[in-house]
Amino acid sequence: MPRSASDLKDTFDFPEPPETLPRWALEEGAPWQGLDAFDVLVRAEEISGKTLELRHEPLPSHLWGLHVVKGGRGRLIVNRNLPPFWRRFALFHELYHLIAHRRGEAFWSRTATPLSSFEVQADLFAWAVTWPEYTEIDG
């Protein structure tokens, strides 16, 4: 497991923040800002109607997180090797997929919308939620 900041930079490809955030992302992200993990799960359960669990597991460096839903249960899995800020970013990225892209990849791959656009949307939401935290550490 990487130990130093330079090891992490070599292991993970950290994205640069967007120049601007769209209004929709700011509006949807604002209620999530500053919530701890417990309150994030409570809010997400209220919105999704699912019982959710958050797990931090060792994942390959190219996989920051994923979510799995089956019936009324869901699990958000975040790469525990990420630094704390980026673990939180990954949580909100996956959370957006869970809430906004409920029909899953199999459904969306049959539409005219490219899957990459869903990744961009999830990143923009995650940036909108975590922006205050990012400005504190980037400072």
Q: Per residue in 26-82, pLDDT tens?
A: 999 999 999 999 999 999 999 999 999 999 999 999 999 999 999 899 999 999 999
For the chain, the average pLDDT equals 85
d(CA 26, CA 126): 10
Domains along the chain? 22-138 (1.10.10)
**Neighbour count for residue 58 (Cβ, 10 Å):** 8
Question: How much is the pTM?
Answer: 0.83
Would the pLDDT of 18 be above 50? Answer: yes
Buried b (16+ CB within 10 A) or exposed e, 76-96: bbbbebbeeebbbbbbbbbbb
Would the pLDDT of 105 be above 50? Answer: no
Task: Please report, as a single letter, which amino acid is at residue 54.
Answer: L
